[in-house]
Structures are given as structure tokens and as C-alpha cells.
Structure 1
Amino acid sequence: MAFFDALTQGLLIGLGLFYKALWPILFGVLLTALIETLIDHERLADILGGRDLLTTGKATAGGIASSACTFGALSITQTLFKKGASAEASFAFSFASTNLVIELGILIYALLGWQFLLAELIGGFVLISIMYVLVRLTLPKQLFEDARKRLRQQYEEDPAPVAFSRQVTADESWSQQLTSREGWSRIAYNYFHTLGKIYKSALFGFLIAGLIVSFVPPEVWASLFMEPTGLLSITENAVVGVLAGVLSFIGSIGNVPFAAALWVSGVSFAGVIACIYADLISVPILNLWKKFFGWKAALYIFVIFFSTMVASAVLMEQLFSVLDWIPPRLSVEGFMSFLELKVDFTSIMTVLSLVGTAVLYALVRSASRGDNEA
């Protein structure tokens, strides 16, 4: 009986997380679809060939504007690298497009609060800065030039997209697309294309989060994560947090409810933020790095990214402790209360988001019927 009670509670928590996160996800996906439709990512490659700070800054700005899911970000990264972008710029793009994007920030704020959102934003720039220094000092240039040649050869043999990439674009200006039915039909197509890329990861993340809160005793997390009383213990928390993210098999959106469950379960601030950072080296993403760049380059990327994520999480814990910005932890009961269905800002935004999704779906269906009739 206790098992089924815990299972029911876990499913309710997962459902509550899904409800809280639904409108941030849908709103973020709309922004992603707008940017995917209106901005040509491939033009970025022409200005990202340098290894200097300015080029890395441009890549960071491009990543923020790309607003991609983890799989999409990696697909765009390999396209940029294949077309001539430097390793530093390519990696900066990856970090920015998975850590500094609007939909992720909205979701973190909705589930974890402004402190975690601020740590994610500041930490995102810290991630890129540390990565840049490490890659400048250690990059095996010939290894990555060989990877670039292999990518170009693969493209010549099969020019179809290797993985998740933008599906619909147009030559019209952004203002023309935003004021035409055809433009919004393309946006709607990309909207549902992006939803199709992330929904499995997100739903899996909500389910795992609910089961973690319900089934895993706090003592388990206490045995894995040392009490963060000093630099050594904080570093251990960050290392275990990154490993949890690596082994979660979840993308950036799904990692947020997973991280929320860790926070409620007693994991430290550094451990939670490190878990959110880790989406770029989760097991399925590492497999794509290997597919695109080869296993030696993928191993190098894992070591550099892992070190970068741990260092950034440690710095965020130290900084937010000094500023007294680490938020109070919710109990399981408080978490359940937080997830209750009620008439508030969340419910209003959820209804509006669902109505908007229905309108976009009607546009897609209308465009599909028009193509079939033609």
C-alpha cells in the first residue's frame, strides 16, 4: 500500500510540474519558432572563423538568439563548425543556445525561482569564459581539423540534415513574414517541429522528478552530496551534480524539473545548478558529439565541458553564498502546495498558451490541405 501511495504522489508531483511548466515551455517554443524562421543560422559561420574574444562574443550572441533545444543546438553547432567556425566559437554557441535562452530561463524561474535563474544566466557567461580559456590553451588543432574535413565529406556524400535542424525558412524579411499568413504558417510548422523534438525529454523529466521526490529518501542524497561547508565539499557537490545530469538522458528542458526534484530532496545549490548545466554532455548528446566529431574529439569535449561545468557551479555557490542569495528549500509538502491547481497567473498563461497552440495548429492544417490540393 505504501508503494502505491508513493507512486500516486510521484505521479501527482510530475503532473503538477508539467502544469507549472506548460506555459513557459509553449511560450519558449513559440520564441524558438520565431527565431528559427526569421534568422538564418548558417550565415553565422561566415563571421565565426576566428579564435579571438570578439568572435566568441559574436557566437555567444548568436547562440542566445538561436534559442534551440539541446539536440537542435548541437546540430547547428556542427553546421557552423563544418562551414568554418572555430572550435571556440562553436562551443560558445552551444553553451549560449542551451544555457542563455529565453524558454529555459522562464522555466527555471517558474519551477526554481529567481535565484536559480540568475545563477543560470551568470553561470552561462562564466561557462563560456572558462571554456574559452581552456580550449585556447589545450585545443588539439589537427584533431578538430580532421573532424571538420570528415563533416564536409559526409555532407558532400549526403547533404540531407544529419540531425534536428530548421525545417522551414523563407527569403522574405522578418517584417514581411510576421505580417503574412504564409509567414505565420512557417512559424507554426517550426513551432510543432520544435515541440516534437523536446516533448519526450520534457515528459520524461517530469516523470523522473516526481518519482525522485516521492521514492528517494533524503538520506540517499545526503550520502551522495556532502554538506557544502567548504570548497572541497562544494566541488564534490558540483561533480556529482554534473554526473547526475550526464546520466539523466534528458535534454535541457527536461533537466529543469529533474533539478527541481533534486533541490526539494536536499541537494545543494551547486549540485542542482551543475545538473542543469550538464545537458550538453548527457549520454545521448555525447553520442551525437561522437557521431559528428569522432570519439577522440568527443572525449576532449567531455573533459573540457565537464571541467567547465564543475568550476562554474562552484563559483555560483560561492558567489550566491556571499550575497546570501541561496533560496530557502521547499519541503515536499510545500512543493505539493506550490504545484496545486488554482486560478492565478499560471492558469491564465496556460489557457492563453493552449489557445495560441490551437491557432497555430489550425494554420498548419490549413497549409497542409492547401499543399495537398495543389
Structure 2
Amino acid sequence: MRVVHAVVDALVTSGTMAWQIAWSLVLGFTLSAVVQALVRRETVSRLLGDDRPATLAKATGLGAASSSCSYAAVALARSLFRKGASFTAAMVFEIASTNLVLELGIILVLLLGWPFALAEFVGGPIIIVLVALAFRVVVRRRIVDAAREQAQKGIAGTMEGHASMDMSIDADGGLLSRLFSRAGYTSVSHIFVMEWAAVLRDIVIGLLVAGAVATWVPDSFWQTLFLTDQPTLSKLWGPIVGPVISVLSFVCSVGNVPLAAVLWNSGLSFGGVVAFLYADLIIIPILLIYRKYYGTRMMFVLLGVFYTSMVIAGYAVEVLFGLTGLVPEHGGAEVGESGISWNYTTWLNLAFGVLAFALVSRFFATGGKKMLAMMGGAPGEETS
């Protein structure tokens, strides 16, 4: 019975966190779908042909308006690279599309508070600058050429099949008239559902892991690991260990926010939590995808450059927010203790639930089932 109670407690915690963020996920994916419906991917590829600062700024903006699914972001970056984008611009697009998207910011505010959302959007550009500079020094032309040769091999994998689907609106007229046309409604509904299909597994896993960790792992373990009794060392250690936990957790996309909330309540430093959030692009499954897409050598380059940049960005936000007094007190994150009640969250979930139902209904009414079938299989898996 003790085991049953432990499992139930973990599931209740996970379910409460899911209830708290449900409406924000619908809002974020709807806005992302609207943007993607208006911008053709061929246009994106043409804009990202080099690694000049202006080009990387465009890559950042376009990435921030794109998908928040880490697997889809990795696949889309490869697609852009294959279509002529520079490798640096493709990687910048990838970083921005997982760390600077609106839905991530909303969920961070709900579960961790606005300082974490602000830190995410402050640290993201720092990582992008560091990665761009590192690529100029570390990534030689022959490595990029080898990566491009590897990237051109094979047929697009299941996630890249989703990422490469251009469902932007072809109708004439202004942006609003195109968006509110029947074609616009259909395009938004298809992108909305495909984005959910791409990221739902990670969200569920993230919530289950967060619920289990919050319920089962004793505080003493985290306090020892995070050196909470030594504040200075804790701040130095946090950005180093945060990404390592992320790599080993296998949780990415917005699914790692609930676990980040648990880690924050358990004593991980502010910079460590932020670095943990950044590291969804170097979890083990994605590293294996890098190896398949770009070769073993480039995989290790990406691991080293990304990890180092994430650690430095974690230190940067720790210092900046510490100097300005914006680092919140530990223990304020929402990790499911409050339960479900009839409040503003309930009204928002009901309202956005209606929106989600309308979009899903349109998706299936316009041939969406065939598109879902094209995504069958594991993330990043290649087909032949």
C-alpha cells in the first residue's frame, strides 16, 4: 500500500502541474502556428545564408517565432542547413526556437516566476553570441563540409518530415485577410496539432518525472548535491551540474520546466536552474541525432560548444540578477501542492480548451489524420 500511495501522490502532483500550465500551452502553440502559417520556410532559408551578425539576428527572431519542440527544432535546423543556410545560422535558429519562444516564457512565469522567464530571455542571446564566436574559432571549413555531406544523406526522419512540412498560407491579400481565410484556419489548425504531436511526449514525461522527483527524492539528497550549506560554492557549482542533470533526465522542450521548478525548490542555484533549462538541446537522444545528422566529430563539437556556452550563460544571469536584486528566494516555485480549484486557471483552461477543440476539429476535418501518420516513429529516426 505504501508503494501505491507514493505512486498516487506523484501522479497527483504531476496532474496539478499539468492543470496549471494547460491553457498557456494552447496559447503558445496557437501563436506559434499563426506565425508559421504566415512565413514560408523557403524564405527563411534564403535569409540565413551566412553568419554575419545581421543574419544571425534574423535567425534568432525567426527561431523565436518557430516551434518550441527540441526534436522538431533540431530537425528543422538540419532542413535549413540542407537548403543553403549557414551552419551557424541554423544552430542559432535552433537555440532560439527552444529557448526564446513565447510558450516557454509563459510556463516559466506560471511555475517559477517572472525572474526565470526574464533570465531565459536574457541568457538566450548570450548563448547565441557565445556559440557564434566559438564556431568562428572551433568549427573549421572542412568540419562544416563534412557535416553538410552527412546532412545530405538519407531521407528525412520522422521529426524532420514534420519540420519540413510547409503549411504556410498561399492565398493573396494582407496578413489578416490571409490568416482569417478558410485556408488560414486550416493551416493554423494543422501546424497547431502537429506541434502538439511533436512535443506531447516530452511534456508528459517531464510532468511525470517532476512529480516523481518532487514526491520521492528526499531534500537531503538535493541539498548535498547542490551544496546548499555553502552558498558561494553552490552558485559556482549550479551552472555546471544543472546541464548535466538535464542531459541525464532525457526531458526537453517545455517539458523540462516542471522539473526545473522541483530543482529550484530543492536548492539548485538560480544560474544552475537557468543552465538546466538551456540544456534541452544536449540531452542524450538529441546528441545521437546530431551524430546521425552531422557526424560524430560535429556531435562532440556541438556538445562542447553548447555546454560551455550554457554554463557561461548560467554564470552571467546569476551575476546580473544578483547585482540587481532580482534573484528570488528558494521554495517559491509551483510544483503541484495547491491542487485544483475553481479560479482563474480553471476559466482560462476552459476558454483555451474550446480553442484547442476548434483547431483539432478543423485538423481532422481537412485530412490531418494522414499527416499524423507521416510522423509515426521515434524522434529523429531515419527512414529508408
Query: Relative to 1, partners in 2 of residues 1:40 and 1:22: Cα closer, same or farther, differing over 3 Å?
Result: same
Cα distance in 2 between the residues matched to 1:19 and 1:359: 20
Cα distance in 2 between the residues matched to 1:159 and 1:126: 31
SS of the aligned residue for 2:236 comes to helix
With 181-190 and 119-128 compared, the bigger mean Cα shift is at 181-190
With 281-290 and 42-51 compared, the bigger mean Cα shift is at 42-51
What is the match of residue 20 of structure 2?
20
2:363 maps to amino acid: V
Structure 1 contact 250–282 (Cα < 8 Å) conserved: yes
What is the match of residue 358 of structure 1?
357
What is the match of residue 213 of structure 1?
214
Structure 2 contact 257–277 (Cα < 8 Å) conserved: yes
Q: Map of 1:241-280 to 2, 5 A cutoff?
A: 241-280=242-281
Cα distance in 2 between the residues matched to 1:316 and 1:131: 17
Where do 4+ consecutive residues of structure 1 move more than 6 Å?
Answer: 158-161
Cα distance in 2 between the residues matched to 1:367 and 1:336: 38
Cα distance in 1 between the residues matched to 2:355 and 2:81: 36
> For structure 2, which runs of at least 5 residues remain unmatched after alignment?
371-384
Query: Relative to 1, partners in 2 of residues 1:113 and 1:247: Cα closer, same or farther, differing over 3 Å?
Result: same
What is the match of residue 93 of structure 1?
93
SS of the aligned residue for 1:120 comes to helix
Residue deviations 1:75-132 (CA, integer Å, cap 9, x gap): 1111121222222211211111111110111111111110100100101111111112
Shift of residue 335 of structure 1? 4.7
1:36 maps to amino acid: Q
Cα distance in 2 between the residues matched to 1:198 and 1:159: 16
What is the match of residue 348 of structure 1?
347
Query: Relative to 1, partners in 2 of residues 1:335 and 1:364: Cα closer, same or farther, differing over 3 Å?
Result: closer
With 143-152 and 190-199 compared, the bigger mean Cα shift is at 143-152
What is the match of residue 294 of structure 1?
295
What is the match of residue 45 of structure 2?
45
Cα distance in 2 between the residues matched to 1:366 and 1:282: 36
Residue deviations 1:322-368 (CA, integer Å, cap 9, x gap): 22211122379x8544x322233221111111111111122223324
Shift of residue 283 of structure 1? 1.1
Shift of residue 299 of structure 1? 0.8
SS of the aligned residue for 1:66 comes to coil
Query: Relative to 1, partners in 2 of residues 1:163 and 1:236: Cα closer, same or farther, differing over 3 Å?
Result: farther
Structure 2 contact 234–268 (Cα < 8 Å) conserved: no
TM-score (norm 2): 0.89
Query: Relative to 1, partners in 2 of residues 1:251 and 1:331: Cα closer, same or farther, differing over 3 Å?
Result: closer
Cα distance in 2 between the residues matched to 1:6 and 1:265: 19
Q: How many residues align?
A: 366
Residue deviations 1:154-175 (CA, integer Å, cap 9, x gap): 46xx799744315333422543
Q: Give the root-mean-square deviation of aligned CA atoms.
A: 2.4
Residue deviations 1:252-291 (CA, integer Å, cap 9, x gap): 1111111111112222212211111001111111111111
Residue deviations 1:44-69 (CA, integer Å, cap 9, x gap): 22222222212111111111122331
1:150 maps to amino acid: Q
What is the match of residue 130 of structure 1?
130
> For structure 1, which runs of at least 5 residues remain unmatched after alignment?
none
1:54 maps to amino acid: A
TM-score (norm 1): 0.91
What is the match of residue 376 of structure 2?
none
SS of the aligned residue for 2:119 comes to helix
Structure 1 contact 41–76 (Cα < 8 Å) conserved: no
Structure 1 contact 67–103 (Cα < 8 Å) conserved: no
Corresponding residue to 1:229 among 231, 253, 277:
231
Cα distance in 1 between the residues matched to 2:366 and 2:357: 14
1:47 maps to amino acid: L
With 108-117 and 343-352 compared, the bigger mean Cα shift is at 343-352
